[in-house]
């Protein structure tokens, strides 16, 4: 009876099976895997199934950073297997629950090891040094793994130093249901060979052999052929025996609909802004004149999937909370890289990041949120960044660059020394267009030049200081850009908030009516009543606490909504905006 | 101008479209209603090819049948680089012919299984699948040892030849005949390489590959 323990490590591929930009089709105990190596070397072992329509991801495209399904183009990130883009919903950020199941991967002895619920370590091979061994060609066998392993005990081969000899003595040094260690000795030559039998399914296996010691050139080829020939003969024998027996039923792995961790509702809290992730400042450096770069690595596990345009809340040692965009390119999922400009009139946030925080410090951050999603169906995309506004746009530009989509990145700054993250922007080639040291008038002229000739299918993404954003939005409107094609993100809301009104808020789904007095926000009052609402900047800039208005007239005071959204009267930012009518009904 | 008597779902027609695309040769097609119309067995078509098989080309009056034969002709006539079918390299020509015959073997097995499953042909599908797996095992071993020695195409040349084009389509379409390629990882990698050749085009059931990693 085949041991189907999910806790046991098995090889599922050889290292040579995972060249860059390829997806290997693996299987263990009936469960299929899409296995791919990202350009950063990370080996992804995923359920071989797109979460959308169940198509095998092993026929998908490995672009070095993400895996794209062939069917409807859903993209999944390196490491996390979280969905980063759904072409049919170009304006939306995919929900975090759209995350494929991942499995462990360890590369050792020229083999890639995995298990559904691994316990302990990959088997130790005493005397086998990495790089000092020879991985044989995997031999697929249509027979149960234990039958193959039993037959391997009587496998005969020549030691590497006597490959042309014929009477090596072979002894079994160790054996179990899934592996056999054999030593061949002839004269002074001796070779230890370990054969692992991968249980692909109840009646299918792969023999994966590893020999101690390196061999080069013609000897290496002779050894590889020697084992290939003999293992193929062994396979033929085992297969003949297997055909004579009734075939066992195929194993039927259970495909989880969604992982328990993603399925559960987040805990209710009163304080609202959650910092659920602990990260270490792995690196702090000067990303440009006046701008500090921070690389944030998870203390344990993986960081959640992010999409271009997403930001995180950073909870600082001094108690302040600030939002910073993730600058990472697609698939760069090992750490988050953010850039922080030292503000002259810092209220403590940027000063703390620049002066207090040091490499090695631990920070609490929120999960990434994306209220500035990037469409990838534009004929051409124009990015306009002012100063530190480059950070979300760098992530976006890298995503389009990776997919070979057309874009220009206009980067306004005082001088060359202020251009941040040159190591990221240099990869963008001619698409990066710096504009340095321009006066406000010259900036206006340049914006008019960039935004002239609007053509359908173009999209514009803006991020920078308030006055520049206002100017760019006005220029775009004059040049005929429709509002739906102009996307923007403010650093902060500089509007003076008028909180003198008092009104009533009815939450239609929660069946409660709350009074919002002057001096308090909708968000505050809702939280006090136990309605959990996500928020981030709490000043009307980031878009996190957006609610849908069913009835009543909102009094907009944010800088997140565009004019069309404001006029529609169907959306409201609950952190700063209020009501002009006596009553607001929200879809909450 | 070349005229190709063509059926979209035929792997043998596809291999000609593929090579002509890679060579940048202009051609027009005459679609033949292979299924369900059986136009390739019609009286008018039998006059063009008495075997009643696709594909056939007509190149300014020269009428040729048999996919492998046509590949030889197209590469000999229209490949200025002389690499797809190098006329002066005897050993390589021998290798190419060997794999062209192998491609016929793939047609006789993997394609037959697909015709059984997709177009309801009355074939012994189990025998066809067993035959295809036997060929795929041989091919996977050949390609795996090639990779170990730095040879990434079917023949021992640093470039692809018509042998690669001849074998590619019915391997790629094998799943439609119930023949998975999971046990042939070296074949799967070689398929990626073919898909990355300049001028590569797809057909129904053949998906494109992404770009290779920049060196």
Residues A396-409: tens digit of each pLDDT: 999 999 999 999 99
| Nearest CA distance, B88 vs chain A (angstrom) | 29
A14-28 average pLDDT score: 98
Under 8 Å between Cβ of A294 and A337: yes
A24 touches chain B (CB under 8 A): yes
* DSSP-based three-state secondary structure for A571: strand
Residue B101: CATH number of its domain:
1.20.1050.10
B210 touches chain A (CB under 8 A): yes
Beta-carbon contacts of A217 under 8 Å, excluding residues fewer than 6 positions away, are none
By Cβ distance, the residue of B148, B185, B207 closest to A17 is B185
Integer Cα distance of A524 and A505 in angstroms: 12
Query: For residue B53, is it within any domain?
Result: yes
| Nearest CA distance, B37 vs chain A (angstrom) | 30
A573-584 average pLDDT score: 95
Under 8 Å between Cβ of B158 and B81: no
DSSP letter string, A470-482: HHHHHHHHHTT--
Question: Tokens in use for A105?
Answer: 């991967």
Query: For residue B175, is it within any domain?
Result: yes
pLDDT recorded at residue A265: 61
Beta-carbon contacts of A20 under 8 Å, excluding residues fewer than 6 positions away, are A37, A39, A62, A64, B212, B213
B208 touches chain A (CB under 8 A): yes
Do B170 and B94 share a structural domain? yes
Mean pLDDT of chain A, nearest integer: 94
Give buried/exposed letters for A284-311 (b at 16+ CB in 10 A, else e): beebbebbbbbbbebeeeebbbbbbbbb
Residues B93-102: tens digit of each pLDDT: 999 999 999 9
A510-519 average pLDDT score: 94
pLDDT recorded at residue A466: 93
pLDDT tier for residue B25 given thresholds of 50, 70 and 90: very high
Integer Cα distance of B145 and B150 in angstroms: 9
CA-to-CA dists, residue A60 to A74, A158, A255, B201, angstroms:
10, 41, 19, 17
pLDDT tier for residue A268 given thresholds of 50, 70 and 90: low
A 132-151 residues with CB < 8 A to B: 137-138, 140
> How would you classify the pairing of strands A139-141 and A204-212?
antiparallel
Question: Tokens in use for A24?
Answer: 């290997």
pLDDT recorded at residue A257: 73
By Cβ distance, the residue of A13, A22, A404 closest to B192 is A22
- At residue A284, does pLDDT exceed 70? yes
Integer Cα distance of A162 and A166 in angstroms: 8
CA-to-CA dists, residue B33 to B39, B41, B53, B153, angstroms:
5, 10, 12, 34
Best interface-test mutation with A: which of B172, B209, B210 has the largest number of A CBs within 10 A? B210
- Domain segments of chain A: what residues? 277-365, 380-490, 503-586
Residue B14: CATH number of its domain:
3.40.30.10
* DSSP-based three-state secondary structure for B48: helix
Rounded to 5 degrees, what angle do the CA atoms A6, A103, A147 make? Answer: 40
- The DSSP output letter for A353 is I
Instruction: Kindly identify which residue of chain A lies nearest to residue B209, measuring between CA atoms.
Output: A61
CA-to-CA dists, residue A517 to A74, A505, A552, A572, angstroms:
46, 11, 17, 17
* DSSP-based three-state secondary structure for A350: helix
Give buried/exposed letters for A67-76 (b at 16+ CB in 10 A, else e): bbbbbebbbb
Do B191 and B94 share a structural domain? yes
A208-237 average pLDDT score: 96
Least confident of A95-99, A108-112, A572-576: A95-99
Do B95 and B188 share a structural domain? yes
CB contact under 8 A, B212 and A404: no
A22-28 average pLDDT score: 98
Residues A183-206: tens digit of each pLDDT: 999 999 999 999 999 999 999 999
Under 8 Å between Cβ of A492 and A541: yes
Residues A483-509: tens digit of each pLDDT: 999 999 998 999 999 999 999 999 999
Do B114 and B48 share a structural domain? no
A411-440 average pLDDT score: 96
CA-to-CA dists, residue A269 to A243, A250, A443, A526, A529, angstroms:
61, 47, 46, 12, 11
Count of domains for chain B = 2
CB contact under 8 A, A404 and B213: no
Residues of chain A contacting residue B147, judged by C-beta atoms under 8 Å apart: 16
Q: What is the 3-state secondary structure of B103-141?
A: HHHHHHHHHHHHHHHHHCCCCCHHHHHHHHHHHHHHHHH
Do B142 and B107 share a structural domain? yes
A334-363 average pLDDT score: 93
Integer Cα distance of A219 and A159 in angstroms: 11
By Cβ distance, the residue of A21, A25, A137 closest to B212 is A21
Nearest to A19 by CA among B136, B147, B195: B147
Nearest to A92 by CA among A312, A331, A309: A309
A5-25 average pLDDT score: 97
Integer Cα distance of B174 and B205 in angstroms: 10
Question: Tokens in use for A304?
Answer: 């959640």
CATH class of domain segment(s) A277-365 = mainly beta
By Cβ distance, the residue of A39, A137, A140 closest to B183 is A140
Under 8 Å between Cβ of B50 and B26: no
pLDDT recorded at residue A65: 97
Residues of chain A contacting residue B205, judged by C-beta atoms under 8 Å apart: none
Q: What are the two backbone dihedrals, phi and then psi, of residue B146, each rounded to the nearest 5 degrees? A: -60, -45
| Nearest CA distance, B211 vs chain A (angstrom) | 7
- The DSSP output letter for A411 is E
A369-397 average pLDDT score: 97
pLDDT recorded at residue A240: 97
Under 8 Å between Cβ of A333 and A78: yes
| Nearest CA distance, B209 vs chain A (angstrom) | 6
Query: For residue B156, is it within any domain?
Result: yes
Query: For residue B204, is it within any domain?
Result: no
Integer Cα distance of A100 and A97 in angstroms: 9
Which of the two residues, A415 and A131, has the higher pLDDT score? A415
Residues of chain B contacting residue A228, judged by C-beta atoms under 8 Å apart: 141, 145
Question: Tokens in use for A432?
Answer: 């990066």
Do B94 and B186 share a structural domain? yes
Nearest to B185 by CA among A18, A295, A69: A18
By Cβ distance, the residue of A19, A204, A232 closest to B189 is A19
pLDDT recorded at residue A266: 57
Parent domain of B111 = 90-195
CB contact under 8 A, A224 and B148: yes
Do B68 and B119 share a structural domain? no
Q: Which residues pair with A288 in a beta bridge?
A: A291
Question: Tokens in use for A481?
Answer: 């850009």
CA-to-CA dists, residue A365 to A151, A281, A285, A320, A326, angstroms:
55, 11, 19, 12, 12
CB contact under 8 A, B144 and A22: no
pLDDT tier for residue A130 given thresholds of 50, 70 and 90: confident
A345-370 average pLDDT score: 92
Superfamily of segment(s) A503-586: Beta-grasp domain (3.10.20.30)
Residues of chain B contacting residue A232, judged by C-beta atoms under 8 Å apart: 141
A380-490 CATH, one of 3.40.50.80, 3.30.70.20, 3.60.21.10, 3.40.50.720: 3.40.50.80
Do B188 and B94 share a structural domain? yes
Residues A79-98: tens digit of each pLDDT: 999 999 999 999 999 998 89
- At residue B120, does pLDDT exceed 90? yes
Q: Above pLDDT 90, what percent of chain B? A: 99
pLDDT tier for residue A269 given thresholds of 50, 70 and 90: low
Under 8 Å between Cβ of A6 and B199: no
pLDDT recorded at residue A271: 60
Do B29 and B50 share a structural domain? yes
By Cβ distance, the residue of B145, B188, B212 closest to A25 is B188
A225 touches chain B (CB under 8 A): yes
Query: For residue B44, is it within any domain?
Result: yes
* DSSP-based three-state secondary structure for A281: strand
CA B134 to chain centre: 18
How many beta-carbon contacts under 8 Å exist across A and B?
A: 53
Do B129 and B51 share a structural domain? no
C-beta atoms surrounding A132 within 10 Å: 10
Do B170 and B109 share a structural domain? yes
B 113-172 residues with CB < 8 A to A: 141, 144-145, 147-149
A403 touches chain B (CB under 8 A): no
Nearest to A290 by CA among A228, A244, A342: A342
Residues of chain B contacting residue A70, judged by C-beta atoms under 8 Å apart: 207
Integer Cα distance of A179 and A194 in angstroms: 7
pLDDT tier for residue B215 given thresholds of 50, 70 and 90: confident
Question: Tokens in use for A460?
Answer: 């514009």
A20-44 average pLDDT score: 98
Q: Which H helix or E strand runs over A225?
A: helix A217-244
B33 touches chain A (CB under 8 A): no
By Cβ distance, the residue of A21, A138, A225 closest to B213 is A21
| Nearest CA distance, A48 vs chain B (angstrom) | 12
By Cβ distance, the residue of A39, A224, A228 closest to B213 is A39
Integer Cα distance of A301 and A277 in angstroms: 10
Residues A285-323: tens digit of each pLDDT: 999 999 999 999 999 999 999 999 999 999 998 888 999
CB contact under 8 A, B210 and A138: no
Residues A540-552: tens digit of each pLDDT: 999 999 999 999 9
- Helix ranges (H only) for A403-465 are 422-425, 440-451
Q: What are the two backbone dihedrals, phi and then psi, of residue A59, each rounded to the nearest 5 degrees? A: -100, 5
Do B106 and B49 share a structural domain? no
Under 8 Å between Cβ of A422 and A430: no
Integer Cα distance of A496 and B42 in angstroms: 82
Integer Cα distance of B203 and A258 in angstroms: 34
CA A472 to chain centre: 32
A168-172 average pLDDT score: 97
Residue appearing with tokens 């021992």: B156
Burial of B78 (0-12, 13-18, 19+ CB in 10 A): middle
- At residue A262, does pLDDT exceed 80? no
A243 touches chain B (CB under 8 A): no
Q: What are the two backbone dihedrals, phi and then psi, of residue A477, each rounded to the nearest 5 degrees? A: -60, -45
Integer Cα distance of A482 and A479 in angstroms: 9
Torsion B113-B115-B118-B121 (CA) sign: negative
CA A581 to chain centre: 44
DSSP letter string, A496-559: PP-----EEEEETTTTEEEEE-TT--HHHHHHHTT-----SSSSSSS-TTEEEEEES-EE---S
Integer Cα distance of A473 and A488 in angstroms: 9
Question: Pick from B78, B103, B129: which residue ends a domain?
Answer: B78
B185 touches chain A (CB under 8 A): yes
B47 touches chain A (CB under 8 A): no
- Helix ranges (H only) for chain B are 11-23, 43-48, 67-78, 90-106, 112-119, 125-149, 162-172, 185-195
């Amino acid at each position: 009876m085949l041991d189907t323990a999910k806790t046991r490590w098995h090889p599922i591929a050889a290292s040579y099976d995972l060249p860059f930009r390829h997806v290997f089709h693996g299987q263990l105990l009936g469960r299929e895997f899409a296995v791919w190596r990202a350009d950063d070397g990370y080996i992804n072992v995923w359920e071989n199934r797109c979460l959308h329509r169940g198509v095998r991801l092993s026929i998908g495209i490995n672009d070095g950073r993400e895996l794209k399904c062939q069917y409807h183009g859903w993209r999944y990130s390196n490491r996390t297997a979280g969905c980063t883009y759904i072409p049919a919903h170009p304006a939306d950020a995919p929900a975090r629950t759209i995350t494929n199941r991942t499995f462990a991967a360890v590369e050792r002895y020229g083999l890639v090891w995995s298990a559904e619920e691994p316990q302990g370590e990959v088997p130790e091979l005493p005397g086998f040094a990495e790089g000092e061994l020879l991985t044989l060609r995997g031999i697929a066998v249509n027979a149960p793994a234990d039958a193959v392993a039993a037959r391997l005990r009587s496998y005969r081969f020549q030691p590497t130093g006597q490959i042309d000899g014929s009477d090596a003595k072979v002894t079994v040094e160790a054996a179990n249901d899934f592996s056999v260690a054999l030593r061949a000795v002839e004269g002074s030559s001796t070779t230890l060979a370990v054969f692992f039998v991968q249980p692909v399914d109840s009646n299918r296996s792969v023999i994966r052999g590893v020999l101690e010691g390196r061999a080069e050139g013609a000897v290496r080829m002779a050894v590889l052929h020697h084992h290939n020939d003999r293992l193929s003969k062994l396979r033929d024998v085992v297969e003949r025996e297997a055909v004579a027996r009734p075939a066992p039923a195929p194993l039927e792995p259970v495909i989880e609909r969604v992982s328990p961790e993603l399925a559960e509702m987040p805990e209710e809290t009163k304080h609202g802004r959650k910092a659920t992730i602990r990260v270490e400042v792995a690196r702090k450096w000067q990303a440009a004149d006046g701008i500090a770069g921070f690389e944030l690595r998870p203390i344990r596990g993986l960081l959640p999937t992010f999409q271009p345009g997403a930001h995180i809340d950073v909870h600082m040692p001094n108690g302040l909370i600030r939002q910073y965009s993730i600058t990472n390119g697609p698939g760069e999922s090992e750490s988050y890289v953010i850039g922080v400009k030292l503000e002259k009139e810092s209220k403590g946030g940027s000063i703390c990041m620049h002066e207090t925080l040091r490499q090695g410090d631990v920070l609490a951050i929120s999960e990434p949120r994306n209220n500035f999603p990037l469409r990838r169906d534009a004929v051409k995309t124009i990015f306009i960044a002012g100063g530190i506004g480059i950070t979300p746009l760098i992530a976006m530009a890298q995503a389009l660059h990776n997919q070979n989509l057309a874009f220009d990145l206009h980067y306004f700054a005082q001088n060359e020394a202020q251009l941040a993250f040159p190591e990221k922007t240099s990869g963008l080639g001619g698409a990066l267009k710096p504009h340095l040291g321009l006066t406000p008038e010259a900036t206006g002229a340049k914006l008019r030049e960039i935004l002239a000739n609007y053509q359908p299918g173009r999209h514009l993404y803006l991020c920078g200081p308030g006055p520049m954003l206002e100017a760019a939005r006005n220029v775009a409107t004059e040049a005929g850009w429709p509002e739906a094609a102009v996307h923007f993100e403010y650093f902060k809301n500089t509007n003076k908030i008028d909180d003198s009104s008092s009104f009533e808020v009815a939450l239609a789904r929660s069946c409660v009516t709350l009074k919002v007095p002057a001096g308090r926000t909708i968000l505050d009052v809702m939280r006090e009543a136990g309605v959990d609402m996500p928020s981030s900047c709490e000043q009307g800039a980031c878009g996190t606490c957006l609610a849908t208005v069913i009835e009543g007239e909102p009094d907009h005071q944010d800088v997140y909504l565009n004019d069309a959204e404001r006029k529609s009267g169907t959306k409201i930012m609950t952190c700063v905006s209020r009501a002009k009518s006596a009553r607001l009904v929200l879809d909450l | 101008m070349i005229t190709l008597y063509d059926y979209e779902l035929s792997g043998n027609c596809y291999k000609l479209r593929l090579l002509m695309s890679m060579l940048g040769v202009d051609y027009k097609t005459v679609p033949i209603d292979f299924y369900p119309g059986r136009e390739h067995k019609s009286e008018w078509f039998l006059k063009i090819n008495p075997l009643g098989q696709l594909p056939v080309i007509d190149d300014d009056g020269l009428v040729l049948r048999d996919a492998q034969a046509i590949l030889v002709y197209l590469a000999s006539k229209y490949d200025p680089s002389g690499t797809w079918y190098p006329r002066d390299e005897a050993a390589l020509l021998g290798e190419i012919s060997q794999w062209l015959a192998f491609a016929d073997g793939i047609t006789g097995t993997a394609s037959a299984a697909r015709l059984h499953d997709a177009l309801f042909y009355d074939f012994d599908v189990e025998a066809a699948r067993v035959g295809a797996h036997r060929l795929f095992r041989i091919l996977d071993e050949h390609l795996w040892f090639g990779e170990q020695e730095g040879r990434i195409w079917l023949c021992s040349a640093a470039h692809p030849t018509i042998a690669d084009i001849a074998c590619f389509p019915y391997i790629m379409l094998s799943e439609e005949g119930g023949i998975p390629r999971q046990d042939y990882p070296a074949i799967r990698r070689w398929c990626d390489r073919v898909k990355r050749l300049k001028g590569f085009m797809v057909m129904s059931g053949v998906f494109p590959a992404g770009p290779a990693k920049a060196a």
